[in-house]
Amino acid sequence: SDLNSLKKDPENLYNYISQIPPSVFSKLYKDCDINPDYLVLILNSVTTYEKNADKILELLYNFSKTSNFSMTVMFFTDEDRSLYSELVTKAEEATISSASEMLAAVKAVLE
């Protein structure tokens, strides 16, 4: 599936994204910037369909490790920033062992 073809179908986009281990994103975008439009599409689908706080945190954490992620977030619209903040709030319920360290990295992007 191509991400462009999934733009109009958030549920299928979520199903596609959820099959990818979160660590892949930090490797895939290690040396190049993630397209802000794609990032917002992904965040939207995760906000709507993902209920597991651990998975949300792992995804946000791995995105936070991508190239220029904080710069990408800096240029978010207010609506997109709110979306990211909503996911961070959901991620605060994570129970994985490294949750506090991961949350610190995820929240630092908003500062």
Residue 86 confidence (pLDDT) above 90: yes
Residue 58 confidence (pLDDT) above 70: yes
State the Cα–Cα distance between residues 53 and 46, nearest whole angstrom: 11
Domain count, the chain: 1
Question: Which letter does DSSP use for residue 96 in this model?
Answer: S
pLDDT per residue as tens digits for the range 8-56: 888 999 999 999 999 998 888 888 888 888 899 999 999 999 999 999 9
Tokens of 9: 């179908």
Q: Which residues on neighbouring strands pair with residue 67, listed in sequence order? A: 33
- Provide the percentage of residues in the chain whose pLDDT is more than 70: 97
Mean pLDDT of the chain: 90
Confidence of residue 101 (pLDDT cuts 50, 70, 90): very high
Confidence of residue 111 (pLDDT cuts 50, 70, 90): confident
Q: Which of 58, 57, 46, 54 is nearest to 95 (CA)?
A: 54
DSSP labels, 71-83? HHHHT--HHHHHH
Q: Which domain holds residue 9?
A: 3-108
**What pLDDT score does 10 carry?**
86
Q: Are 34 and 63 in contact (CB under 8 A)?
A: yes
Residue 19 sits at φ, ψ, to 5 deg, of -85, -10
For the four alpha carbons of 22, 28, 30 and 35, in that order, the dihedral sign comes to negative
